[in-house]
Amino acid sequence: MNVEDLILHCGPVFGNVRLSADALSLWFIAVICIVFACGAIYGRDYMKRYSGRGAAVKLHWAHYAVCFLSMVALCLVRNTLAFLVAWEIMALSSFFLIVFESWKKEVIEAGTNFFVQSHVSAALLTVGFIAIAQKTGSYDFAAIAAYDGSVWPLVLILSGFAVKAGFVPFHTWLPHAHPVAPAHVSGVMSGVIIKIGIYGILRVIALTTANLLVAGYAILAVAAVSGLYGVMLAIMQHNLKKLLAYHSIENIGIIGMGIGLGCVGAALGKADLAALGFAGALLHTLNHALFKSSLFFAAGNVYQAAHTLDVERLGGLAKKLPWTAAFFLVSSVAICGLPPMNGFVSELAIYLGLFGWLDGAGAAGAVGASFAIMALVLIGGLAVLCFTKAFGIVFLGTPRTALPEMREFGWSRKLPLCVEAAIMLSVGLFPQFYASAAASVVASFPGVSGSAGALPDWMSNVGAATLATVGVIAALAGLRQLAGRGKSVREGETWGCGYTAGTAKIQYTATSYTRTYADLCSGLLGNAVRCDPIEKCYPGRAAYESENYDAFERHFISAPLEAYRRFMDRFSFLQNGRLQYYILYGIVCIVLAILLTLVLA
Amino acid sequence: MTGFALILFAALFFDGLIVRTKSVCSGRKGPGVFQPLKDVARLMRKGAVYSPTTGWVFKAAPIVQAASVVMACAVIPLGEYGALLSFRGDFVFFAYVLALGKFFGIVGALDTGSSFEGMGAAREALYSMLAEPAFFMVVGSLSLLTGFVSFADILPAIHLSGAMSCAIAVVAAGVLLVLELIENSRLPVDDPKTHLELTMVHEAMILDNSGFDLGLILAAGYLKFAMYAALIANLFVGSVPDAWDVPAFLAVQAGSAVSIGVVESFMARARMNHNPQFVFALTSVALLLVFGVLLAVGNFR
């Protein structure tokens, strides 16, 4: 891929801004385009519910377009100052996208949280980029490659990107922002906006010449924790979109494990490890963008049909929304990394890299690799637990509460989901084509040196296996069709142990489905229980209420902030609302300033 | 092809052999070795009853479950006879395609809206999640021992020479045997003969399946037995002369069937709330195996 760089002359502040499109940029731009296009088609119909707010909807779509353009720009610019400007445009436009329903309190709260945290990310990036520019005297990306000073600016930059990507401990904005945004915005945000953080991390790794071993171990550890923590909390969520938001953290963890593995491979001089790690990360970026946006779109259908996202109140939607259910099922299989869908392909690449690392590794490597494998296996198993719950409780069985009348949505909503499902299936069945594209991206990464070429061949064997799986399923379905000919098929009530008056309330709930798991993990997860127990012979009103929370957020983010707020409260007497005091403060300040200058002089 | 055919062949008598062993141990006359097969054939000829609560997910579930086991069998070799499908990382495919079957088994059970089946599904999901790391650690240690990353390369390369490799093979076989018990929902984790829905795991999930679907699920279960036993057999087949491959394979199949029968005859099931500990303890044994292998291959510096 040889596209000439474009130099824009942008005045004295920015200097020459270089625009360049290499394979890495194009990979991410392709992902962004697919998801934004599907989101736009889906959102057109979704926003019809808000037709009474014409101006707000128009402004919404304007922000959508600006957000898209800023994301493409982020992938193209090669100048850190211009990058920061585009970053800010993206952050602001996505903030306005999230707070569309600004008349709701929780929307504004979540939006503010997002706003603050995305500026923490921007601040980290700004400091990091300026520190590098100070040292090298250039704002061009080439300066990062040439930079050979202290490692801290790079750490700051990577942390800034990690906030955007949602790695633990920077994940706390995600579960608040996703549930309140309109469905297509959640889909786009989880699908691609958080991936810009991944793009940034990969871009820095592709540029830097530093030794990546420590960085690789660090990324791998953070990513494994993110993956496990994300899915462990996801299982406990009863809000469907919040559950999906925690799953984004999990999948970012899987992508991060790929990146970490790639770094370790590059540092150890094992080219095939590096190729598998980076290619797995890239493929999983594409895959997650597809299945997560599909899941959010399907959740949007559920929300607009049932007017609730609380899984405990739903049930039996597969009968009323069969297409939505089918898309949700397909994407659930994909997100669990099960063949024949696409998630399997990228996870397999990362697995193979980890097993390759185990072979011939020293003590540190063997421990690292075996724990990374364990983490990935547990993430996979927990994801199955989580998505059988999400799909099973929401779409199967019978409705748990009286749900409003609902009909399946029209083609303008099915089309984007169909397109994404088709791409997902094609990645699963013919991974060699996508692998060869990923291989050409990976070829430019440090320490890969040509070993990416073997990926497509290997992937074509994987594709044969997934194709065979589909073939066997089809063959067995045909066999049943043949065997069923002329046989009686009757209807009979679900087996109730002889009890025939069962109601919908008798069904297993999401809480009971995850109860044993919750007990096992109770030490790691936050669970607040409020209980008015039954006491005495004539008990009064008894109540039991349990609520689970993000223990990490509460203890490491909210608690320090609360302490800080209490400390600052001590000075609240200063702001007493009387004008004469404020004038006095001004005079005191001026006098102090004059005195200080005199004293110092 | 030979390996795949032999697994199919072994599946024909596997469950029957377990049932025979249990009859002999308890001093009953008991049914013949082929009774389970006859049951499947009878079920497959029958019509079906579907609950009005269920939909297409419930109908798709048994098919995907059976297909997943067939595909998992396809990546297992037999000694020098290669597998039907083989590629680097095929053991990941093995585990994940089985998980696909479990996924559909679980959502199929939830589709009935029955509290029993929800309970069974929740248990199955949890146990298989906890058992998964053990499998990966066993395969990881074997991969480390041989330096390969696909079943078709790893398994024939295991030659039992010296105390260390024998110990590794025996521990690996033990872990795989317990995994076989867990994955097939047998004692001590689950009792297939229990008649009380509250204590069921796998049986509770298929309460509403009937006719061809139930037959398919049972057949897939027999195939799954033979599949795990084939993995165990492969640990030892590499060390016998080529001509003895097939007899050794069949002997291991018969041996594991009999040992499962003996375990089931003389053991009570574990309490339900002890099961997660039991299942997860297997992972630590498997992790021990990994570090044992690291010591054995001598790059644990």
Residue range B259-295, pLDDT digits in tens: 999 988 998 888 888 888 888 889 889 888 888 888 7
CB contact under 8 A, A494 and B301: no
- Looking at chain B, the whole-number percentage of residues with pLDDT higher than 90 is 39
From B27's Cα to the closest Cα of chain A, the distance in A is: 31
A79 pairs with which residues across the strands? A140
Residue A420: phi and psi, rounded to 5, are -65, -40
Q: What percent of chain B is helix, strand and coil (3-state, nearest 5)?
A: 75, 0, 25
Task: Name beta bridge partners: B48.
Answer: A489
Nearest residue of B to residue A489, measured between CA atoms:
B48
CA torsion angle for A30, A33, A244, A399 (degrees, to 10)?
-130
3-state secondary structure A477-489: HHHHHHHCCCCCE
What backbone phi and psi angles, to 5 degrees, belong to B117? Answer: -70, -35
Burial of A482: CB neighbours in 10 Å, binned 0-12, 13-18, 19+: exposed
A374 and B137: CB-CB below 8 Å? yes
Q: Are strands A543-549 and A526-532 parallel, antiparallel or unpaired?
A: antiparallel
**Helix A363-395 vs helix B90-110: angle between axes, to the nearest 10 degrees?**
20
The span from the CA of B152 to the CA of A276, in Å, is: 21
Contact flag B213-A480 (C-beta cutoff 8 Å): yes
Disruptive mutation site among B87, B128, B283, B300 for chain A (greatest number of A CBs within 10 Å): B87
A residues 289-328 lying closer than 8 A (beta carbon) to B: 315-316, 318-319, 322, 325
* Chain A positions in Cβ-Cβ contact with residue B208 (cut-off 8 Å): 494-495
Q: What is the ipTM of this complex?
A: 0.94
Residue A548 dihedral angles phi and psi, to the nearest 5°: -105, 150
**Sign of the dihedral through C-alpha A388, A393, A398, A403:** negative
CB contact under 8 A, B208 and A495: yes
β A489-491/A16-19 pair status: unpaired
Domain-embedded: residue A432: yes
Q: Give the torsion sign (CA, B184, B187, B193, B199).
A: negative
Alpha helices by DSSP H, A238-362: 240-268, 271-306, 317-320, 322-335, 342-358
> CA B21: distance to chain centroid?
19
Chain A residue with minimal CA distance to B120? A513
Going from the first residue of chain A to its last (601 residues), give the mean pLDDT of each consecutive group of 10, the final group possibly shorter. 73 83 92 95 91 89 96 93 94 94 92 92 94 88 85 91 90 89 93 93 87 88 93 90 93 95 89 91 95 94 92 89 94 93 93 86 81 92 93 90 87 92 94 92 82 84 93 94 85 79 80 86 79 81 82 86 92 87 93 93 79
Largest CA distance in chain B: 63
Q: Does the residue A487 lie in any domain?
A: no
> What share of chain B has pLDDT > 70, as a percent?
99
- CA of B246 to nearest chain A CA: how many angstroms apart? 26
Compute the count of residue pairs across chains A and B with CB atoms less than 8 Å apart.
Answer: 260
Task: Please check whether residue A364 touches B, CB under 8 A.
Answer: no
Contact with chain B for residue A360, Cβ under 8 A: yes
| Candidates A336, A377, A499, partner chain B, best to mutate (most B CBs within 10 A) | A377
- CA-nearest residue of chain B to A326? B57
Rounded to an integer, what distance in angstroms lies between the CA atom of residue A86 and that of residue A288?
Answer: 24
CA distance B114 to chain A (A): 6
Nearest-neighbour CA in chain A from B242: distance (Å): 28
Q: Which residue of chain B has the CA closest to A486?
A: B47
- Domain membership flag for residue A500: no
Same domain, A273 and A408: yes
Same structural domain, A135 and A228: no
Q: Is residue A493 part of a domain?
A: no
> Is A537 an interface residue toward B (CB < 8 Å)?
no
Nearest-CA distance B29 → chain A (Å): 30
For residues A166 and A231, state if they share a domain. Answer: no
| Domain limit, last residue, from A187, A210, A233 | A210
Q: Based on the domain organization, do A554 and A589 belong to the same domain? A: no
B301 vs A contacts (CB less than 8 Å): 362-363
Residues A430 and A463: beta-carbon distance below 8 Å: yes
Q: The tokens of A31 are what?
A: 């992902």
The verdict on a CB contact (< 8 Å) between B70 and A472 is yes
On whether residue A135 sits in a domain, the answer given is: yes
Compute the C-alpha angle B287/A280/A368, nearest 5°: 30
Residue A184, in any domain of the structure: yes
- DSSP bridge partners of B50: A491
* Rounded-to-integer distance, Cα A438 and Cα A452, Å: 9
Q: Maximum Cα–Cα distance for chain A, whole Å?
A: 106
Are B114 and A507 inside 8 Å of each other by CB? yes
Q: Collect all residues of chain B within an 8 Å Cβ-Cβ radius of residue A363.
A: 294, 300-301
Based on the domain organization, do A2 and A39 belong to the same domain? yes
Same domain membership, residue A432 and residue A341? yes
Residues in A closer than 8 angstroms to B93, CB to CB, are 339, 344, 348, 462, 465
Q: A530 has which bridge partners?
A: A545
d(CA A598, CA B102): 80
Beta-bridged to residue A555, according to DSSP, are: none
A382 vs A375: CA distance, rounded Å: 10
Pair A270, A296 in one domain: yes
| Cβ of residue A476 closer than 8 Å to a chain B Cβ | yes
Helix residue spans in A500-558 (DSSP H) = 510-513, 515-520, 551-552
Q: Any CB–CB contact under 8 A between A493 and chain B?
A: yes
Q: Is A417 helix (H, G, I), strand (E, B) or coil?
A: helix
Contact B83, B4 (CB under 8 A): yes
Residue A499 domain flag: no
Q: Which of A469, A500, A519 would you mutate first to test chain B, the one with the most B CBs within 10 A?
A: A469
Judgement on whether residues A258 and A360 belong to the same structural domain of the protein: yes
The CB density around residue A389, as the number of other CB atoms within 10 Å, is 30
* Per-residue burial over A147-174, b = 16 or more CB atoms within 10 Å of its CB, e = otherwise: beeeeebbebbbbbbbbbbbbbebbbbb
Q: How far is CA A205 from the centre of its chain?
A: 21
Q: A301 by DSSP, 3-state: which? A: helix
For chain A, state the CA radius of gyration: 26
Chosen domain end from A175, A195, A210: A210
As a whole number of angstroms, the distance between CA B103 and CA B61 comes to: 9
Residues 6+ apart with CB under 8 A from A353: A258, A261, A262, A265, A272, A273, A276, A277, A280
User: Over 50: is that where the pLDDT of B301 sits?
Assistant: no
Rounded CA separation B67/B43 (Å): 18
Do B113 and A398 count as a contact with CB atoms less than 8 A apart?
yes
Measured CA to CA, the distance from residue A265 to residue A275 in angstroms comes to 8
Q: What is the pLDDT of residue A550?
A: 83
CA distance B151 to chain A (A): 13
Cα(B241)–Cα(B50) distance, integer angstroms? 52
Neighbours of A352 (CB within 10 A): 25
Question: B298 pLDDT band (50/70/90 cuts)?
Answer: low
Q: State whether A345 and A225 are in the same domain.
A: yes
Q: How many angstroms separate the CA of residue B53 from the nearest CA in chain A?
A: 6
A385 and B129 within 8 Å at the Cβ level: the answer is yes
> Could you tell me if A352 lies within 8 Å of chain B, comparing CB atoms?
yes
Find the CB nearest A492 among B51, B74, B75: B51
Buried b / exposed e across A67-90, counting CB within 10 Å, b at 16+? bbebbbbbbbbbbbbbbbbbbbbb
Question: Pairing relation of β-strands A6-9 and A16-19?
Answer: antiparallel
Inspect the interface and report whether the beta carbons of B102 and A517 lie closer than 8 Å. no
Domain assignment of residue A228, given as a range: 212-479+510-524
Number of domains in chain A: 4
| Region for residue A315 given its phi and psi (left: phi exceeds 0; alpha: psi -120 to 50; beta: otherwise) | left
- Residue A258 · residue A280 · CB < 8 Å: yes
> What's the pLDDT at A2?
53
**Chain A residues within 8 A of B147 when measuring between CB atoms:** 359-360
C-alpha span between A56 and A190 (Å, rounded): 23
Helix (H) or strand (E) holding A526: strand A526-532
pLDDT class of B163 with cuts at 50, 70, 90: confident
Nearest to A355 among B75, B143, B197 (CB): B143
Q: Best residue in A232, A273, A330, A388 to probe B by mutation, most B CBs within 10 Å?
A: A388
Contacts of B62 (CB under 8 A, 6+ apart): B108, B209, B213, B214, B216, B217, B220
Which residue of chain A comes nearest to B95, CA vs CA?
Answer: A338
A194 & A335 share domain? no
Whole-number Å distance between alpha carbons of A5 and A19: 6
A351, A468, A489 member nearest B74 (Cβ): A468
Q: Please list, in sequence order, all residues whose beta carbon lies within 8 angstroms of the beta carbon of residue A589, skipping any fewer than 6 positions away.
A: none
**Which residues of chain B does A382 touch, with a Cβ-Cβ cutoff of 8 Å?**
129
Mutating which of A321, A341, A354, A355 best tests the B interface, going by the most B Cβ atoms within 10 A?
A355
The distance of A491 to chain B (nearest Cα, Å) reads 5
Judged against a pLDDT cut of 70, whether residue B299 lies above it is answered with no
Q: Do B121 and A488 touch (CB under 8 A)?
A: no
Q: At what angle do helices A322-335 and B56-74 cross, to 10 degrees?
A: 30
Same structural domain for residues A200 and A269? no
Gap from B133 CA to chain A (nearest CA, Å):
6
Residue A502 lies in a domain: no
More confident residue, A580 or B201: A580
Residues A561 and A579 in one domain: no
